[in-house]
Amino acid sequence: MSKPLHDLPQADPTHFRVPDPQRLRPGLVSSHAPRILLLYGSLRPRSFSRLVVEECARLLRAMGAEARVYNPSGLPLPDDAPDTHPKVVELRELAAWAEGMVWCSPERHGAMTGIMKAQIDWIPLSVGAVRPTQGKTLAVMQVCGGSQSFNAVNQMRVLGRWMRMITIPNQSSVAKAFQEFDDHDRMKPSPFFERIVDVMEELVKFTWLTRDVSPYLVDRYSERRETAAELMKRVNQSAL
């Protein structure tokens, strides 16, 4: 029930809603394992962002989630191939399948890598009037060749917000990543590993908490006022 809008003449009473806390308590709660897609940002034979993602996938499975890792090798540059390219189709299908994501990139020249950005750019902001990533959870992580930095995770947070994802508060930045893995490419016990456990635990919790109510969380007054055709025209980026 909404209060009278006598002091808000610019608001459309047909589409104005008072947030309802009962809508945040779904009647039917999903029981399947949380579905998490993991992306990494380097194609080197011994990619430390890939090794971190593989450790994350093990942790997620141990926590009861279903984890899938996308291999970006062979993914074309955005706009350099049609979206029917097999690697693009694979990425988009995984993005649609996922209820949450992990993005892990090396920091290169003070930023995330082009490989990381290309994957995110191939995930459509919209398909018609539907936003495939909207309301899904996201954890951001980076690996560093030297001292600890946060440039890549900060950039990925901006991208997560742009993709309308629920980016969890915790994050991980692994300094001198080459020192953190043993000869079997497994991460050594350390505060860096403990932080990764923290991040994955938080991601699973946020995914459980939000996945059944995400449509309500991202239901917006401005978009309720638009027709589907108007919304599709506004958010469709294919012509840019």
Dist CA 165 CA 138 (whole Å):
6
pLDDT at residue 234, rounded to an integer: 64
Per-residue pLDDT of 98-143, as tens digits, reads: 999 999 999 999 999 999 999 999 998 777 656 789 999 999 999 9
pLDDT of 231 strictly over 70: no
Identify whether 13 is part of a domain: no
Identify whether 24 is part of a domain: no
Amino acid at 184: H
> 60 near 67, Cβ under 8 Å?
yes
pLDDT at residue 240, rounded to an integer: 53
Query: CATH number, domain at 198?
Result: 3.40.50.360
Per-residue pLDDT of 141-183, as tens digits, reads: 999 989 898 999 999 999 999 999 999 999 999 999 999 999 9
The mean pLDDT value of the chain amounts to 90
Identify whether 6 is part of a domain: no
Identify whether 184 is part of a domain: yes
pLDDT at residue 235, rounded to an integer: 63
pLDDT at residue 71, rounded to an integer: 97
pLDDT above 70 coverage of the chain, percent: 91
Name the more confident of 5 and 228: 5
What the block records as the tokens of 60 is 């997620």
pTM above 0.75, yes or no: yes
pLDDT at residue 211, rounded to an integer: 94
pLDDT of 45 strictly over 60: yes
- Cα 160 from chain centre: 6
What the block records as the tokens of 86 is 């097999």
pLDDT of 6 strictly over 90: no
Identify whether 15 is part of a domain: no
Q: Total domain count for the chain?
A: 1
Owning domain of residue 159: 32-87+95-235
Identify whether 17 is part of a domain: no
pLDDT at residue 126, rounded to an integer: 72
Lowest mean pLDDT among 8-22, 55-69, 199-213: 8-22
> 138 near 170, Cβ under 8 Å?
no
- Residue 15 Cα distances to 24, 66, 101, 222, angstroms: 19, 38, 32, 8
pLDDT at residue 152, rounded to an integer: 94
The count of C-alpha atoms lying within 13 angstroms of the C-alpha of 27, restricted to the half-sphere facing its C-beta, is: 0
pLDDT at residue 193, rounded to an integer: 96
Question: Could you tell me the pLDDT band of residue 2, with boundaries at 50, 70 and 90?
Answer: very low
pLDDT at residue 129, rounded to an integer: 58
Identify whether 25 is part of a domain: no
- For 79: left if phi > 0, alpha if psi spans -120 to 50, otherwise beta; the answer is left
pLDDT at residue 1, rounded to an integer: 44
Identify whether 14 is part of a domain: no
Per-residue pLDDT of 72-94, as tens digits, reads: 999 999 999 999 999 999 999 99
